[in-house]
Amino acid sequence: MQTSRSFLRTAALLAIFAIAAFFSRAPAVAQNTSANDIDRSIKPGDDFYQYANGSWLKIAATPANPPGYDTRTMLRERTAQRVRDLIQEAFASHSAKGSDSQKVRDYFGSFMDIDSIEAKKLTPLADETAKISAITNKTSLSAYLGTTLNGEVEGLIANADHIFGLWINQGFDDADHNVVHLWQGGLGMLQRDNYLDPSSQIAELRAQYQAHIAAVLKIAGVAESETKAGRVLSLETQIAKAFAPDSDAADVFKQNNPWKRADFSAKAPGMDWDAYFEAAGLAQQPDFIVWQPSAVTGVSALVASESVENIDAWKDYLRFHLVEHYASVLPKAARQQTPDRNKLAVDATNGALGQAVGQIYTQRYFPPAAKAKAQAMVADLISAYRSRIPNLAWMSSQTKQKALAKLAALEVIVGYPDTWIDYSALDVVRGDAFGNMCRAEAFLRERNLAKLQQPVDPIEWPINPQIPGAFIMFSPNAEFFSAAILQPPYFDSEGDTASNYGSAGAGMAHEISHSFDQLGNIYDAKGRLGDWWTAEDRTAYHAAAEKLASQFDAYCPLADLCVKGKQVLGENIADLAGLLVAHDAYILSLQGKPDAVIGGLSGEQRFFLAFAQRWRKIQDEAALHKQIATDTHSPGKYRSDTVRNVDAWYKAYDIAPSDKLYMKPEDRVRIW
């Protein structure tokens, strides 16, 4: 789930990163760095990005490839096709009943069985709609809302179909015990501003949403659906008013609000919290962390009134979101049109049986030998950090000791989990798409709640191996790189070591650096909140960083458009750290031996070439303007130019003072 990188990471609880991967449509070559993509008419010292990628850019710039097309896009497409093929292979198999393969086969098959879904009409919803109809007061309403509490989280909020979202994780101040983290949720249009922004564009969006609510309620058999749709939108608008603003997400200390069970009635009166937590399976849970207290207080107040009008508004809201939640396994009339049912079925199977699919994927595409090779690279990266940290000019000696302690405790996990989820308790029945979805949700929810009785597991996988991406978990102190992101040409266990370290290694080292920078310095070695930089460290760090910000301010892809150095500074510092550390690690991997020359390129040249090739992208002016205006990442060309600050690059490519990218040694940034 590449979701919401900026929030989860800036909020510093959990960050999701889809790390750019690198393969092209140029002619295939044996090495994971493609010499065929080089434009040899360009001097490396004049435009390293164009030198490394020029031939690829010419080939990729076709009408079939839209703006924004890059190696990340291709990696996702390739991996998605692989997963589809594997699931369909399982679908065609004759696996033993109860096996993971059977569950994958029948979950996918049931989702694709449109005839069975259509034949059942809306009868699968009968039990839930009866429960909603039986709501008569705030106690029964609170109890029903409690049954919707789950662990689906999308960005700032819980899944739109649930009034609150739940995440089980260690506490911000207690690394030894899991607690319940509660998130704001319940908005069909997801973001607060979609309800409160007075602009005509957003007003039109609200009108379209209200019409959609009316259509869904009508399908569900609700009389006076248009009037009731207005009532649902009004209720969601009141919920939105209680939402914490997006700006609060930038300060994790605002999210650290420990509440005891008894605090809910005192701090958020209105809801029957006893009924709510009993229905949620949390009646005995003593400790909670409420990320957005205003949302909990506001929703509770909205539940308080037992007037017929208020109770009926909630019931219409619940009916609408019930259909929305299960739309993918209901008849066509109840769901939005989708052009690719097969893709939807694959995504649903991944969501329900992610690690079962992951085992099938890794057996085919990331065997133990590949994991061992990636682990060896990680060990070199950690060794390189261990050597660099004591020499950082901006860190005080006491801070360096804390950084080294955090590095020693950091878990960097690659590929896939050593212990997979046991799905034996999950019953998957062919021809019962709705029931399978319900049972899968219940299984995952119970598994999640069970963590409250278990010690914190710092290496529990938060991402499926077949999803290309990486997670930083600041709390606990761990990082995960999936098997799907560790594939050629980003990483090739049988390929060129220099290219592996220049691409995958630099990406991993980039992410590791965030554990020690302005994002990660508020978490200690165990993932507890606590700023371990001194005031002097902070001043020195930002002083050193100013030089890099100024460097990027000078990059202007268009006459009227320049990079905003401060806006992209954090990611640029991580790029620089990643490149330097990965280069150190590459040298360590050689164990004092010279690397081979391949395709006329030395190992050092292939290392930097791999780094530059990771950033290639087809981008039009509109997309470029938008990126520079809003993104915390620089355009790829300038990320590639990070090499200008690395002395080894000058030596590898014989960069001369007359070359356009040349910088004097004293002008090169030395933060890491």
Nearest to 152 by CA among 165, 169, 170, 164: 165
Kindly indicate the confidence band of residue 657, based on its pLDDT and cuts at 50, 70 and 90: very high
Question: Is-contact 374 493, C-beta < 8 A?
Answer: yes
200 phi and psi, to 5 degrees?
A: -65, -35
Given this model, what pLDDT does residue 150 score?
79
Task: Give the rounded percent of residues in the chain with a pLDDT score beyond 70.
Answer: 93
Over residues 535-556, the mean pLDDT reads 97
**Helix segments in 412-505, DSSP class H:** 433-450, 497-500
- Tell whether the model's pLDDT for residue 599 goes beyond 70: yes
Kindly indicate the confidence band of residue 374, based on its pLDDT and cuts at 50, 70 and 90: very high
CATH topology of domain 15-67+367-418+459-667: Collagenase (Catalytic Domain) (3.40.390)
Kindly indicate the confidence band of residue 156, based on its pLDDT and cuts at 50, 70 and 90: very low
Q: Computed from CA positions of residues 41, 44, 47, 50, in that sequence, does the dihedral angle turn out positive or negative?
A: positive
If you write DSSP's letter for every residue of 233-262 in order, what string do you get? Answer: HHHHHHHHHHSPPGGGGG-HHHH--EEETT
Kindly indicate the confidence band of residue 31, based on its pLDDT and cuts at 50, 70 and 90: very low
Given this model, what pLDDT does residue 337 score?
67
Distance CA 296, CA 267 (A): 9
Residue 311: CB atoms within 10 A of its CB come to 18
3-state helix, strand and coil shares in percent for the chain, rounded to the nearest 5: 55, 10, 35
Q: Which two tokens stand for residue 178?
A: 């899991």
- Tell whether the model's pLDDT for residue 162 goes beyond 90: no
Q: Which two tokens stand for residue 612?
A: 């530059």
Over residues 375-397, the mean pLDDT reads 98
Given this model, what pLDDT does residue 53 score?
96
Matching residue, tokens 């009409």:
121
The pTM of the full predicted model, rounded to 2 decimals, is: 0.91
- Tell whether the model's pLDDT for residue 356 goes beyond 80: yes
Mean pLDDT across the chain: 91
Given this model, what pLDDT does residue 247 score?
79
Over residues 565-590, the mean pLDDT reads 98
Given this model, what pLDDT does residue 507 score?
96
Given this model, what pLDDT does residue 543 score?
95
Lowest mean pLDDT among 66-70, 224-228, 642-646: 66-70
Given this model, what pLDDT does residue 75 score?
87
Helix 308-325, helix 126-133: angle, nearest 10: 170
Over residues 602-628, the mean pLDDT reads 95
- Tell whether the model's pLDDT for residue 35 goes beyond 90: no
Q: Provide the residue ranges of all domains of the chain, joining segments of one domain with +.
A: 15-67+367-418+459-667, 137-330
Homologous superfamily of the 137-330 domain (CATH): Neutral endopeptidase , domain2 (1.10.1380.10)
Q: Which two tokens stand for residue 159?
A: 């899944």
Over residues 132-151, the mean pLDDT reads 94
- Tell whether the model's pLDDT for residue 23 goes beyond 50: no
Which amino acid would we find at residue 310? Answer: N
pLDDT tens sequence across 213-262: 999 999 999 999 999 999 999 999 999 999 998 778 778 999 999 999 99
pLDDT tens sequence across 285-307: 999 999 999 999 999 999 999 99
Distance CA 331, CA 60 (A): 40
Distance CA 446, CA 454 (A): 13
Q: Which two tokens stand for residue 405?
A: 């302690």
Distance CA 394, CA 400 (A): 10
Question: Is-contact 312 141, C-beta < 8 A?
Answer: no
Given this model, what pLDDT does residue 70 score?
85
Nearest to 587 by CA among 602, 574, 601, 600: 602
Q: Tell me whether residue 407 is exposed, middle or buried, using C-beta atoms within 10 angstroms of its C-beta: 0 to 12, 13 to 18, 19 or more.
A: middle
Q: Computed from CA positions of residues 491, 17, 480, 506, in that sequence, does the dihedral angle turn out positive or negative?
A: positive
Task: Give the rounded percent of residues in the chain with a pLDDT score beyond 90.
Answer: 84
If you write DSSP's letter for every residue of 340-387 in order, what string do you get? Answer: -HHHHHHHHHHHHSHHHHHHHHHHHHS-HHHHHHHHHHHHHHHHHHHH
Kindly indicate the confidence band of residue 29, based on its pLDDT and cuts at 50, 70 and 90: very low
- Tell whether the model's pLDDT for residue 122 goes beyond 90: yes
- Tell whether the model's pLDDT for residue 486 goes beyond 90: yes
